[in-house]
Amino acid sequence: MQFRTMAGLALICTALAGCEEFAFNETTPEEQAFLDLQDQTLAIRGELEDLSETTYTDLPTTGGAEYVGTAVINLETPATSELLGDASIVVNFVSDRVTGAMSGFHGTVDGGSVVAYDGTIVLSNGVIAARDSSYIDAQANGTLTHGDQDIDVGAVLNGGLYGETSAGLIEPVGIDLNSAEGSVFALDGADVGGSLEIVGISE
């Protein structure tokens, strides 16, 4: 794999925000799926903490990678609103394009029961910008539904890739994207504050 020629300084990955922990006396299938996604999220965050954020000049110029992991949505409601789903992000190092999708969400809204949500959030307009850190810019848009409840996501994403050194080269094996200023989250048509984080490890 060919890498960009200039050597860049890697930034140490800062600690990532943790999921709120949930426990159930007798779990339903939806609750178990939620707990499994929570465990997966925490495991990936743990892996990312052991890696360094790569700089733009550390990245390969050939090939690509698929990062598989989870997406975490938090909404600012009076009681806890947290949804977790599966995420797949594809990075093309030739075109510097980033695409992906998130689906299979399970979670609770405003302290309600944990349920499954239909719908897909699509990552679009993803690019790798020529700057040293947080060089991935993208958008994530979609609607999640359960019964007559709708959650609309219009997120502006920013983040980077995390790597480990192999034979003197830094291989980007992890990804972390977070919603930034300009993101919009709506619950049943009403704007609410919120956040979206996507974490993944390369297949």
- How many CB atoms sit inside 10 A of residue 111's CB? 10
pLDDT computed for residue 107 by the predictor: 98
Q: What is the pTM of this model?
A: 0.86
Which residues make Cβ contacts (< 8 Å) with residue 167, sequence separation at least 6? none
Round the average pLDDT of the chain to a whole number and report it. Answer: 88
Q: List, for residues 138-182, the tens digit of each pLDDT value.
A: 999 999 999 999 999 999 999 999 997 665 567 899 999 999 999
pLDDT computed for residue 167 by the predictor: 57
Q: Which two tokens stand for residue 16?
A: 């990532």
pLDDT computed for residue 203 by the predictor: 83
What are the backbone angles phi and psi of residue 199, rounded to the nearest 5°?
-125, 145
Closest of 180, 182, 177, 15 to residue 88, by C-alpha: 177
Q: List, for residues 18-40, the tens digit of each pLDDT value.
A: 455 555 568 999 999 999 999 99
pLDDT computed for residue 55 by the predictor: 87
